[in-house]
A and B are shown apart, each in its own frame.
Chain A
Amino acid sequence: MVFVVGDIAQYARPGNFVAIAVGGVNSSMILRRAFAIYRVNEKSSSGGTLELVVAAHGSGSRWLSERSIGEKVDLVGPLGTSFGIPTEPVNTLLVGGGYGSAPLFGLAEVLKSRLCRVDVVVGASTAGKIYAPLDGKRSVTTMTVTTEDGSAGSRGKVTDFLPEIIEKFKVEVVYSCGPMAMLKAVNSITEKLQIVHQCAVEESMACGIGVCMTCVIPLRGADGQIRMSRSCIEGPVVDGSSVIWSEPRTIPEGTLGTSS
């Protein structure tokens, strides 16, 4: 979906997200929905626009997907951190899981404009959950599609193919976006190969602006201390090596403020 946002489009960077109020004024859905920005156009014929990929899998996103052209919505953004863009041309690999792949295509365009080589791997459990738009391929050298059930592309998980692709295309930087379990698996590969890994994390979020403390993930700071850090402010894009990839639903040992 394309949203006309005027001047704020110029502040949006790949990896940023927006938070949209859903359901109308008297809705029982009181929290905003967070969407990663798919693409930005600062100078469309309607002014600055943001494009979002809205998968209607919940009542909030369904409401949003049912809006008509020209309707107004309440949108806050751009929020959060963005993917770091290399200052020199490097070989990059973009890894996406499910609909989480969306922001990678905006990133691909920016990387391409900086003369980086851009290869992409997108995966999902099944073909219907793959997000890989045709026009998103413009900036991409190769695209590999994987599904766990083999209904599209190669059968397997994205991470089954990463070591080979990284070696073949001499990848220097990996960008990833998708479910936490996938990011964790990607990071174990980049860590072993000692490659830079930037990932956009996902955690249930209420406010999107840093006040509610619900969307925290364990991050190791520059001082070595692990803190439960807000993924809406210090993320969503973080250095994969700074994340403590602990078991879900636990606080890692040594985190600031755990009883010891």
Chain B
Amino acid sequence: MIERAFDFRTKFGNRYFPNPVFTASGCAGSGKELSNFFDLTELGAIVTKSIAVKPRSGRATPRMAETPSGMLNSIGLQGPGIDQFLENDIPWLVSKGARIIVSISGETVEEYASLARRLRGITGLSGVEVNISCPNVENRGLVFACDPLASRAVVESVRRNMGGDFPMIVKLSPDVTDIVAIAREVVSAGADALALINTVLGMVIDIEGKRPKLAGITGGLSGPAIRPIAVRAIYQVHSALRSTPILGMGGVASGRDALELIYAGASGVSVGTATFGNPTAAMRIKAELEELLREKGFGSLEEAVGAAHG
């Protein structure tokens, strides 16, 4: 029997990626740490930690609480700020040949615009992820992704400052009543693709100490516990916006999980929390996913995207 050629590529905006397994923002450090475990060029792309205009200390500790099949984090977007990031992290990733999607996060529309201007013209980038949905900010009112008009304002501003065809993926929060309404708004404002989903706002109370376990009180829930929420959000958005590619994420820990998100409508899958438990998780998931797709008779990844929609 002759093995059929298999096309594992995926596309976001105008860029092709050799495979659909990415890292999730905030779950791959600067890339250097994971490169001790595998070759970063084996990933579809590395999505960087969300970078802000200025350095950020992040929130106080404890920042982490394990939960059944998941964990809460309240990092609060700790990072070096865009200057240090462009000086140190990006050149290193470029030198390694990794495909890079830079995740950006701002507190105001103007900050997103300024980050977009800084990224414009940096060579070696494959796209930008606009994170408008981090739950770990002091003021929940700042979560742009909870409001369609605020989301639109950010996306329009990034598009205007970034240039017309630079791939832009916008990351949405599942903590909204109608995620499809937000998705429609950001796509019409110029997003090429959507990243679904960010963590789900949650909380753990330490019953010995009688107070919230996390110093930041609330945190973002991730891991397999939220996978059904991711599948639901991807399915709903893909139903409404068939031509908008989705980068799916939320508790993917195996090739089977990745395929579930792809069937729901994802064109690519990011691995996040699974990396914390196993540094090489993304490589295992990639191998398992390819094998599963072949086993099920698909000639390409594309054929499987949205398969659950009939």
Contact = CB atoms under 8 A, between A and B. Distances in A.
A257 B85 CA distance: 14
Given A203-B61, A213-B58, A214-B75, A28 B68 contact: yes
Interface stretch (B162-170, B179-187, B269-277, B287-295): B269-277
A102 interface: no
Contact of B276 (A31, A228, A250, A255): A31
A253 B59 CA distance: 13
Give the dominant DSSP class at B's interface. Answer: loop
Contact of A258 (B57, B71, B73, B275): B57
A209 B277 contact: no
Interface in B27-42: 27-29, 33-34, 36-37
Interface of B: 26-29, 33-34, 36-37, 49, 54-66, 68-71, 73, 75, 78-79, 81, 215, 223-224, 253, 273-279
A211 B27 contact: yes
A256 B55 contact: yes
Nearest to A74: B278
Nearest to A21: B277
Interface string A58-82: 0000000000000000101000000
A249 B28 contact: no
A257 B69 CA distance: 32
A251 interface: yes
B276 A207 contact: yes
B279 A257 contact: no
Interface in A240-260: 248-251, 255-258
| Pairs of residues from A and B, 9 with the lowest C-beta to C-beta distance, nearest first | A214-B64, A257-B57, A257-B55, A211-B29, A249-B215, A207-B276, A210-B33, A257-B56, A28-B69
Contact of A206 (B60, B71, B81): B71
A32 interface: yes
Give the dominant DSSP class at A's interface. Answer: loop
Contacts of A29: 66
A206 B57 contact: no
A21 B73 CA distance: 19
A251 B28 CA distance: 24
A30 B279 contact: no
A31 B59 CA distance: 21
Given A30-B224, A76-B279, A209-B33, A216 B63 contact: yes
B58 A212 contact: no
6 contacts: A30-B273, A228-B57, A248-B215, A249-B61, A250-B60, A251-B57
Contacts of A249: 60-62, 215
Instruction: Categorize the interface residue count of chain A.
Output: 20 to 34
Contacts of B75: 212-214
B61 A217 contact: yes
Given A228-B78, A248-B215, 7 more contacts: A207-B277, A209-B34, A211-B276, A215-B63, A216-B61, A216-B63, A249-B60
Q: Which of B62, B79, B215 has the most CB of A within 10 A?
A: B62
A31 B34 contact: no
A74 B33 CA distance: 19
Given A213-B75, A216-B78, A204 B33 contact: no
A205 interface: yes
A215 B276 CA distance: 12
Given A30-B71, A30-B224, A211-B28, A228 B58 contact: yes
Interface in A162-207: 203-207
Nearest to A207: B276
Contacts of A228: 57-58, 78
Given A31-B276, A207-B275, A251 B60 contact: yes
A258 B59 CA distance: 9
Contacts of B37: 209
Contacts of A227: 57
B54 A257 contact: yes
Contacts of A212: 26-27, 29, 64, 73, 75, 276
A205 B223 contact: no
Nearest to A218: B57
A215 to B, nearest CB: 8
A30 B61 contact: no
B55 A31 contact: no
A214 B73 contact: yes
B108 to A, nearest CB: 14
B70 A30 contact: yes
Contacts of B276: 30-32, 206-207, 211-212
Contact of A30 (B49, B69, B73): B69
